[in-house]
Amino acid sequence: MDRLYEVMFIVRPDVVDEELDKLVAGFEGTVTNGGGVIKATEKLGRRKLAYTVRKFNDGNYILLTIEANGVVVAELERRLRVTEPVIKFITVRMDEEEKRLAKIRAHRATHKKRSAEPVFHAPAQAAPVPVAPVAAAAVAEPVEVASVEVAEPAAVSA
């Protein structure tokens, strides 16, 4: 039974474009010779790695989207593992992920989402509170401050 997979692999940054194209074509050939189908090939370009891998700080990212059975994927992973310019790879089964996302969408469609708007209730009728007027004389006048002398601390003898 064929399933949908995404295979992301990182190639050393010192590999030239012509060699990179040959490498990707070889991996695509592995999939098609095994009876799989290449859905998409994306060259994501040279990017910085999150951490050093085999003494490299950046690499060329390639994403293959394939439809194949487990035997073909195992052979592709074996070839990725033994190919020297490939420094890292990962294979993700996408049909399970899409099935999970479809289930979440269906659940959201059948259940109404709560409103994010707050509910305001009418305030109870209360007597208004009287407010005292502010008088102009309430402004404070400047106050004189008496000067205070500070004595020197006495020397403590031991």
Give the start-to-end residue ranges of the domains of the chain. 3-109
Cβ atoms within 10 A of the Cβ of 83, count? 15
pLDDT at position 1: 75
Burial of 61 (0-12, 13-18, 19+ CB in 10 A): middle
pLDDT in tens, 45-60: 999 999 999 999 999 9
Residue 45 gets the label, from left (phi > 0), alpha (psi -120 to 50) or beta, of left
> Going by C-beta distance under 8 Å and a sequence separation of 6 or more, which residues neighbour residue 35?
68, 69, 72
Span 3-109: which CATH code? 3.30.70.60
pLDDT in tens, 48-99: 999 999 999 999 999 999 999 999 999 999 999 999 999 999 999 998 878 8
pLDDT at position 69: 94
As a whole number of Å, the end-to-end CA separation of the chain is 96
pLDDT in tens, 143-158: 666 666 666 666 665 5
> Going by C-beta distance under 8 Å and a sequence separation of 6 or more, which residues neighbour residue 24?
41, 43, 62, 64
How is residue 118 written in tokens? 């707050």
pTM: 0.64
Contact 78, 45 (CB under 8 A): no
- Does pLDDT of 130 surpass 80? no
pLDDT at position 68: 95
Q: How far, in Å, CA of 53 to CA of 51, rounded?
A: 6
Residue 75 gets the label, from left (phi > 0), alpha (psi -120 to 50) or beta, of alpha
How is residue 81 written in tokens? 């593992």
Mean pLDDT of 23-33: 96
Please state, for a pLDDT cut of 70, what percent of the chain lies above it.
70
CA-angle at 44, arms to 40 and 47, nearest 5°: 155
